């Protein structure tokens, strides 16, 4: 039997718990930093593994294309989208440094790195955050409960209060859609 009601009930409960955390200030600060960076021509770099890699691609697709409003293309790069870089670097060096290496290539002071990891402990995302900070970038994290190893490396942390990967990913979708809409509004209102 399909347990759709159970899945939807779990999602509703986690959305309510996340709403109760008061993440508004962190979201507003993340949006402000990102919109400011993009307005100044600085990049938004996004990375994650597995389902979070797909989410990273989704976010970048919304930024380069459009989310809800007509506007100019935004300078966003998904660090998990280039299979030649991912496979060559991982094969020859290390999968743990596959994102930090790309941060070395694309980072600019005042730019933004958005890292996604449901555990907050993905080594390659953690190292990307460290590399971004070393290069003067603002860091944003979308994680699960507590933020894991990413928490102290994020200027703005949006941690979903769960340890269930699929449940966290469902809420991440809501959070990053809000993020995309708000960044887009800020860019359009600033004349972009």
Q: How many CA atoms lie within 13 A of 129 on its CB side?
A: 27
CA-to-CA dists, residue 61 to 19, 54, 77, 101, 148, angstroms: 26, 10, 9, 22, 27
Q: Is the pLDDT assigned to residue 191 strictly greater than 90?
A: no
156 with 29: CB under 8 angstroms? Answer: yes
Which residue's structure tokens are 């790069």? 77
pTM: 0.96
d(CA 12, CA 17): 9
pLDDT tens profile 88-112:
999 999 999 999 999 999 999 999 9
Q: Is the pLDDT of residue 192 over 80?
A: no
Question: Per-residue pLDDT tens for 105-160?
Answer: 999 999 999 999 999 999 999 999 999 999 999 999 999 999 999 999 999 999 99
Q: What pLDDT does 40 receive?
A: 95
Instruction: For the chain, list the domains and their CATH numbers.
Output: 24-189 (3.40.50.10490)
Average pLDDT on 59-85 reads 96
User: Percent helix, strand, coil in the chain (nearest 5)?
Assistant: 60, 10, 30
Q: What is the DSSP string of 34-54?
A: HHHHHHTT--EEEE-STHHHH
Query: How far apart are alpha carbons 169 and 167 in whole angstroms?
Result: 5
- DSSP strand E in the chain: where? 44-47, 76-78, 112-116, 138-143, 156-159
Q: Which residue has the tokens 């933020």?
A: 147
């Amino acid at each position: 039997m399909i347990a759709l009601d159970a899945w939807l009930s779990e999602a509703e409960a986690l959305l309510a718990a996340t709403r109760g955390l008061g993440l508004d200030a962190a979201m507003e600060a993340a949006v402000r930093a990102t919109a400011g960076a993009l307005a100044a021509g600085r990049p938004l770099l996004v990375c994650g593994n597995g389902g979070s890699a797909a989410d990273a691609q989704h976010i970048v697709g919304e930024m380069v294309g459009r989310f809800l409003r007509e506007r100019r293309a935004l300078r966003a790069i998904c660090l998990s989208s280039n299979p030649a870089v991912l496979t060559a670097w991982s094969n020859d060096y290390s999968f743990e440094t596959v994102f930090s290496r790309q941060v070395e290539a694309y980072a600019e002071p005042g730019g933004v790195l958005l890292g996604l990891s449901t555990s907050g402990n993905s080594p390659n995302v953690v190292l990307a955050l460290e590399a971004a900070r070393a290069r003067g970038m603002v860091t944003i994290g979308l994680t699960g409960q507590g933020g894991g190893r990413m928490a102290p490396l994020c200027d703005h942390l949006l941690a979903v209060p769960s340890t269930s990967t699929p449940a966290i990913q469902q809420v991440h979708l809501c959070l990053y859609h809000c993020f995309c809409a708000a960044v887009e509004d800020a860019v359009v209102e600033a004349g972009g």
